Structure 1
Amino acid sequence: MDISALVHHDGDAAVLPRRSLSHPHSLSAPSPSMPSANLPAKPTRRQMPPKRKRHDPKPIWAYREGEELPPELQRQQEQHQSSRAPPPTAQPQPTPLPLAHHAPPPTAHRNGAPSNGNSAPPQAVNGSELTGFLRPVSNDAHVYDDVSRRVCDFIWNNAITNELLRNAVAQSDLAQLEIEARWGHIIERSSNARLRGYHDSETVIKSQGMDIKFESTMTMEQHKRMNMYLNAQVSQSNVPGAPRPAVKYQHTREVDIFYDLGPEQLAAMPETLKRLIAASGVRQRVRVTRDQKTNQVIRSMIKIRIANLEISSPRTEWDYRIGINVEINYPGPVDKLEPVVEQGKTLEGMKRQKDRMSYSWLGAYQVDLTQVQQGPLKNHELELELSSDVLLDNADRTLRSKEPTQFEALINGMMNNLRVLSREITPTAPGV
């Protein structure tokens, strides 16, 4: 497969950051370069939150096969079984399985040891339990990653056990859960610079009460480098006999236009979706996506934002934001919708031209590398989407029985992808 021609070559148009708190259709000028910001001053004794328990309770999804649930979680499981009907059967998706640890290809030096040069697949590790020096004094077979577990809790509490969200998805074919992760920078508004603080490694940010925003952006040069890196993964993974899942590639060119969702259109939607839209507290818009070449409508969708979790990664080029959303396919005709045109702009200037390259594998993950142009300005974005069908299937099996699932492994895999791609772009420190 020759995909070397897929690398983009852009002009010198300005790079435009995507800001999370603005409307999806609104693009603003890039932030000026300024010194790094500091975290707010350390809270005083009065501001300190209540003292945590010495041992946090273990969540239900973290129990493994053979472990007995405590009475409280057993009651929770029984209540879930009696109060909820089994969710509709999802389309068959390949469930990701634990992969053998193989030596990475030569291009992956930033994330592991170089390949040993042997063309034969390395021997698989027997089992996934910790052995040797990795085994702790407690003899625990597994030790969880704290940041990944925090992300597991975030998704579990805001999506899996969110009754309003789950009912909307279960009762309407128009709604679908979306779990997305974005690369970018956490920006402190007071200085308009990337957030820096006391921490020197990856950490979850308690953003409540902090005056911050998230900008999803990258430079044109970073876009080209990431394009080449991901193309290499497609080539290497599709070699016959490759000891890794095949990465699939797709290139699309689309145009987005946003339309107001008026009272008449809202009233015609299913009741569960109207409740979900009302709970968002903001006026929603319909994003109509057309094929750039044929102008044919591909999808008409309302995106409702449920919750976000910011992760600061000061040692790498980018921070991360995990987003939980509900996407609703708009069922009505789009020709009756009123297009959104901001003051001082034209309808043509509101169009978002998207040149997107997508890389997917295991039926669970998809990375989108996108160049977005609106008027004369361009922005480059990198996002990862986790399959909601695979996620909900594993989460619901956790709730229904003690059967071991891949719920935690799915989240760990998402975090690993965020780290790997960010490290690939991060410049090597002097002397390393």
Structure 2
Amino acid sequence: MSRRNSPSPPPAKRAKRTMDGPSNFENPNGNHNALPPLSLSILGVEPLDEFIKEIADFIHHMIMTRPNMPGQVEVEAKIGVLRDLSGSRLSLPVLVETILVPDTIECRFESNMSMHQHKHYNNLLNNLMNTSHQSNRPSPPLEYNHLHLIDTFYPVEGQRQKVRVTREEQSGKVQECMKKIRLGDLNIYSPKRAADWRVSVNLEVPVPHPVGSASLTRRKDRLSYSHEEYKIDLTQVTSTTSPNAPPQVIHELEIEIARSELLLSTAAVRGDPNVSEQERSAFDELIRAFVNNARILVRNSNDGWQ
């Protein structure tokens, strides 16, 4: 009696590919390995950038807790180098751009750059300004102004701050007379870049013109670029303490929020549920673009710091 083999089971059917699966995605070039469009996250939104929020929180706190006196709030970021006590550039065990906790690391911020670095940024900003005026640019163009200013500083008895009087060099016209009160600084260490940066918040209080002799004079040859709500100043500063003292020349680069009144009004309604989403988010948007601009300046630095 012959033995009959039991029939083999039919081959399993392959699962059909659904239209929403990644295997059906094809790009125009027919590449089946191309990445399909992805959501920003499982919630469909991009997580909040903690770096920018930390800087925004710091600036907001400085504004809301400032002394109760008239004056304009100045928010600026200076490009420079963080140095340790030996004078070498700070070295920390971090891989990327990092905000330092204030007053926890012994270091100093040095904003002076070399003439070579000054020229590098001058060329970069001039080229950017020229291309920004082309008709196909999506954002407003950069504007440019060349300023020649004289700062004179007068000591005030019993006070740490000095009074600063700023005049136009050619006409001698007084532009401002004020006392600057430092509210706070944040140092940002950038190990992958040739430069670091510092965010400073100050209160500029208008005061009467002082009497007596100035203790310091600074001549500022400033190339000032403006874009939307920000000013970028590239300045050569020549300082003298007396007629016979040799002058000291430094070069600085900083970005500043241009309108103090806008800064204060947006800070006042930050996160306020009684205003529109656009209004309560305006302060963070203002700081976000401010931080982005500072980062771009740092990332375009090259060797040549003093």
Q: Give the TM-score category using the shorter length.
A: 0.7 to 0.9
Question: Are the equivalent residues in 2 in contact too, given 1:261–1:337 (CA < 8 A)?
Answer: no
Question: Are the equivalent residues in 1 in contact too, given 2:270–2:282 (CA < 8 A)?
Answer: no
Find the aligned partners of 1:206 and 1:255 in 2 and give their Cα distance.
Answer: 35
2:230 corresponds to 1:370: no
Task: Give the aligned partner of residue 19 of structure 2.
Answer: none
Task: Give the aligned partner of residue 286 of structure 1.
Answer: 163
User: For residues 204-231 of structure 1, what are the alpha-carbon distances to aligned partners after superposition, in whole Å with 9 as ceiling and x for unaligned?
Assistant: 1123232211111211111111111111
2:174 corresponds to 1:297: yes
Find the aligned partners of 1:333 and 1:154 in 2 and give their Cα distance.
Answer: 32
2:44 corresponds to 1:135: no
Q: Normalized against structure 2, the TM-score is what?
A: 0.78
Name the SS of the counterpart of 2:269 in structure 1.
helix
Q: Are the structure 2 counterparts of residues 132 and 251 from structure 1 closer, same or farther at C-alpha, using a change threshold of 3 Å?
A: same
Find the aligned partners of 1:155 and 1:297 in 2 and give their Cα distance.
Answer: 30
| Aligned partner of 1:203 among 91, 98, 116 | 98
* AA matched with 1:371: Q
| Aligned partner of 1:216 among 111, 131, 135 | 111
User: For residues 42-79 of structure 1, what are the alpha-carbon distances to aligned partners after superposition, in whole Å with 9 as ceiling and x for unaligned?
Assistant: xxxxxxxxxxxxxxxxxxxxxxxxxxxxxxxxxxxxxx
Q: Equivalent residues in 2 for 1:31-430 (5 A)?
A: 132-133=37-38, 135-137=40-42, 139-159=43-63, 161-162=64-65, 164-165=66-67, 167-168=68-69, 172=70, 175-189=71-85, 191-262=86-157, 283-330=160-207, 332-334=208-210, 336-340=211-215, 350-362=216-228, 364-374=229-239, 375-386=246-257, 387-398=259-270, 400=272, 401-404=274-277, 405-426=281-302
Task: Give the aligned partner of residue 277 of structure 1.
Answer: none
Name the SS of the counterpart of 2:89 in structure 1.
strand
In the TM superposition, residue 202 of structure 1 has moved relative to its aligned partner by: 0.3
Question: Are the equivalent residues in 2 in contact too, given 1:372–1:380 (CA < 8 A)?
Answer: yes
In the TM superposition, residue 359 of structure 1 has moved relative to its aligned partner by: 0.8
* AA matched with 1:215: E
Find the aligned partners of 2:269 and 2:197 in 1 and give their Cα distance.
Answer: 28
Find the aligned partners of 2:271 and 2:102 in 1 and give their Cα distance.
Answer: 30
Name the SS of the counterpart of 2:193 in structure 1.
coil
Name structure 2 gaps, 5 residues minimum.
Answer: 1-35, 240-245
In the TM superposition, residue 399 of structure 1 has moved relative to its aligned partner by: 5.2
Superposed CA RMSD in Å reads 2.0
Aligned residue pairs total 257
Higher strand share: 2
Find the aligned partners of 1:399 and 1:192 in 2 and give their Cα distance.
Answer: 42
User: For residues 115-166 of structure 1, what are the alpha-carbon distances to aligned partners after superposition, in whole Å with 9 as ceiling and x for unaligned?
Assistant: xxxxxxxxxxxxxxxx9435122x141322221111011112221x21x43x
Find the aligned partners of 2:265 and 2:102 in 1 and give their Cα distance.
Answer: 30
User: For residues 369-424 of structure 1, what are the alpha-carbon distances to aligned partners after superposition, in whole Å with 9 as ceiling and x for unaligned?
Assistant: 00011243311100011132222222223354242232212111111111111212
Q: Are the structure 2 counterparts of residues 426 and 145 from structure 1 closer, same or farther at C-alpha, using a change threshold of 3 Å?
A: farther
Task: Give the aligned partner of residue 343 of structure 1.
Answer: none
* AA matched with 1:303: K
Find the aligned partners of 2:195 and 2:131 in 1 and give their Cα distance.
Answer: 25
Name the SS of the counterpart of 2:298 in structure 1.
helix
Question: Are the equivalent residues in 2 in contact too, given 1:397–1:403 (CA < 8 A)?
Answer: no
Name the SS of the counterpart of 1:194 in structure 2.
coil
Task: Flag the structure with more relative contact order, 1 or 2, with Cα contacts below 8 A and sequence separation at least 6.
Answer: 1
Find the aligned partners of 1:185 and 1:425 in 2 and give their Cα distance.
Answer: 11
Name structure 1 gaps, 5 residues minimum.
Answer: 1-130, 264-281, 341-349, 428-432
Q: Normalized against structure 1, the TM-score is what?
A: 0.56
